Amino acid sequence: MALRKGSTLRRWSGRCVSALQNGFTLIEIMIVVAIMGILSAAAIYIYNDYVVRARISEALAASTVAQVAVVENATSNSGDFGRGYPPPNATVNLDGITIDSATGIVTVELSAAAGGGNLVIIPYTGMEAAPVALVAGNMPDGVIKWRCRAAGSSFALGSAGTALAKHVPGDCR
């Protein structure tokens, strides 16, 4: 099929060919590369922050065994909240978990990969506004509740941990 010299289709096809020959200028390519660099730098920072948060969550999950041991010892009135608790082996995210035998406070030691420092998990009974500490050898009154504390957190019982608040779950802040 031959196109006549003055046909609309022939004029249109000529424009497309010339448009395809044009490309991006160097400045346009440099702007796109700069924008991609800025976005990737922000993404790496955010990604590293989430990796530390995930590592801390894994260490907190390992502390549930210690919390169960404290509850069992408190309800059996054993006098030692840490009795029968096998401490876990150190992992990439966790240096160790200890139980205070007199108060039942669980301390989670975080490794450097998980941001370092520690989290303190405090058992108590009563309301959060007026908590009652557990005492070894005394049967607790009511349900045992837990409060996790990181650096800068406030609670009437115990001391705060040293892990950065920006990395820990919301209930530890």
Biggest alpha carbon–alpha carbon distance for the chain? 104
pLDDT per residue over 92-101, tens digit each? Answer: 999 999 999 9
For residue 97, the model assigns a pLDDT of 97
- Read off the DSSP letter of residue 114: G
- Does 55 have pLDDT greater than 60? yes
Cα separation, 21 vs 71, whole angstroms = 76
Cα separation, 38 vs 48, whole angstroms = 16
Cα separation, 99 vs 76, whole angstroms = 17
Beta bridge pairs of residue 77: none
Question: Where residue 69 falls among pLDDT bands split at 50, 70, 90?
Answer: very high
Contact 115, 55 (CB under 8 A): yes
Cα separation, 48 vs 7, whole angstroms = 61
For residue 28, the model assigns a pLDDT of 92
Cα separation, 112 vs 51, whole angstroms = 12
pLDDT per residue over 134-144, tens digit each? Answer: 998 888 888 99
Average pLDDT over residues 28-51: 94
- pTM tops 0.85, yes or no: no
Question: Where residue 32 falls among pLDDT bands split at 50, 70, 90?
Answer: very high
How many CB atoms are closer than 10 A to CB 70?
Answer: 25
Question: Where residue 7 falls among pLDDT bands split at 50, 70, 90?
Answer: low
Chain mean pLDDT for the chain: 88
- Does 12 have pLDDT greater than 80? no
Average pLDDT over residues 139-162: 92
